[in-house]
Amino acid sequence: MTNRQAEIAAALDVVPPFSDEAALQAEVAKRKAFIKQCLRNAGLKVLVLGISGGVDSLTAGRLAQLSVEELRKETGDAAYRFIAVRLPYNVQHDEQDAQDSLRFIRADVDDCVNIAASVQGLSAAVSDLQPLSDARRDFVIGNIKARMRMVAQFTIANAHNGLVIGTDHAAEAVMGFFTKFGDGACDLAPLSGLVKGQVRAIAKYLGAPEHLVFKVPTADLEELRPGKPDEESHGVSYAEIDAFLHGQPVSDEAYAIIVRTYDNSRHKRELPLAP
């Protein structure tokens, strides 16, 4: 492990590789306890999370549902509940995966808010988008989608006096692979510190369908490239990112990409600048 690897892993509170199934089970229990404590500390009883069809929201969603079920059992208070919300932009190309995720999560409440009209309305009102190239405009509108989804989640949470869950984990955090004040905005992030392989391992342990556990990850924000793989955007694979974060050897090229991207995206992981 190099000094930079150790520094970055420490900054992101990276969880060491699971030594055995007992370690995985202990991590699941820790994450559920964290979710439950967040609700207790806030004096609230409702959790909200957008479900995309990817393994991250699937895993966070199932952990949330299990947590509120435990709270209901422990307290006898039926008001504890989890709202899973679909947030498609028109018709999502992998909608079947999203529906499969919902069936696995078995949330107390399933909701759906189509963000297309809101995104299109804002995009049409912002003249700055018009002179951009098609690719650049598509990228910017992709970030609008991410931010609109979070607006919807916080609106639902506000309506029910609840908290919004985020799905960020160490393998995305190191690459700054989230929209600032979009999917990067939330009240609690129960997957923090985990690498991608660990998220998949937890999903598999919880009983998620294999086609969702090992699905090719995609943010799916660009209309010109629906389903564009995350790894294509990263320039490195999640296996290489995970290995880097766990202090294992990676190629010089992968090392350089990860360190450079981490340094360039630092502002996304910090609070707003102040004098």
| 44 three-state secondary structure | coil
**How far apart, in whole angstroms, are the C-alpha atoms of residue 184 and residue 215?**
22
187 tagged catalytic: no
- Which two three-digit tokens encode residue 90? 């028109």
| Catalytic hit among 100, 108, 168, 172 | 172
**How far apart, in whole angstroms, are the C-alpha atoms of residue 220 and residue 185?**
18
**How far apart, in whole angstroms, are the C-alpha atoms of residue 149 and residue 164?**
11
| Catalytic hit among 27, 56, 168, 240 | 56
56 tagged catalytic: yes
Phi, psi of 263 (to 5 degrees): -65, -40
Phi, psi of 256 (to 5 degrees): -65, -40
Strand partners, 137: none
Strands (E), the chain: 46-50, 81-86, 109-112, 162-164
Which residue's entry shows tokens 């869950």?
Answer: 165
**How far apart, in whole angstroms, are the C-alpha atoms of residue 163 and residue 2?**
38
DSSP for 196-217 reads HHHHHHHHHHHT--HHHHTPPP
Active site residue ranges:
56, 172
